[in-house]
Chains A and B, each alone.
Chain A
Amino acid sequence: GAGVSQSPSNKVTEKGKDVELRCDPISGHTALYWYRQSLGQGLEFLIYFQGNSAPDKSGLPSDRFSAERTGGSVSTLTIQRTQQEDSAVYLCASSLIAFFGQGTRLTVV
């Protein structure tokens, strides 16, 4: 695609539910990054993929968070049993230059 696409753009979920966030990177970009940004805060690194593999998962906040990437393209970030502190904007970026998607604003109520 022309840019990094994330869906949904907004998600409101109840505490305890699972959510799945999707990132569709720029075609051909092998590197893909997930970051979390809480209101007024910086970019917290979560995980990055080189192809389908994730060399560093240490940024994932807890075992409720997982991510996968298939076919070297689309990636999904899954948050199980969501908590209120998970509320943030989740940003995906593609390639080392980091072209960012518009993010998914997650609100856990």
Chain B
Amino acid sequence: QQPVQSPQAVILREGEDAVINCSSSKALYSVHWYRQKHGEAPVFLMILLKGGEQKGHEKISASFNEKKQQSSLYLTASQLSYSGTYFCGTAHNNDMRFGAGTRLTVKP
């Protein structure tokens, strides 16, 4: 029931782009993305509620392919502040499970 994230870790130089993928073996009703800084609680970034939906937050955007049961998070022109662990959450009837996370490190 837990979604699968890839890659597990990414190291970028400031200004580079990255894509984080999230897939589920079950039909997805919604996909949530969060970022967690070290020692802090996860912070909500965005929610996608239907297939084909795309959203953006600063230079971070996401897409949701309902048929493929997957979502992708796109980070463009990465900034140092983007460093952290990104989690996708998938909800089935209010039961929300998270992927194992993708650790993103942005270096100067």
Task: List residues of A whose CB falls within 8 A of some B CB.
Answer: 31, 33, 35, 41-43, 45, 48, 50, 55-56, 91, 93, 96-103
Contacts and interface: CB of A to CB of B under 8 A. Distances in A.
24 contacts: A31-B94, A33-B96, A35-B98, A41-B100, A41-B101, A42-B87, A42-B100, A42-B101, A43-B42, A43-B101, A45-B2, A45-B95, A45-B97, A48-B94, A48-B95, A55-B93, A56-B95, A91-B42, A93-B96, A97-B32, A97-B47, A98-B32, A98-B42, A98-B96
Contacts of A98: 32, 34, 42, 44, 89, 96
Given A97-B32, A98-B32, A98-B44, A55 B95 contact: yes
Contacts of B40: 102
Nearest to B93: A55
A54 to B, nearest CB: 10
Interface of B: 2, 30, 32, 34, 40-44, 47, 87, 89, 91, 93-101
Contacts of B100: 41-42
A20 B97 CA distance: 23
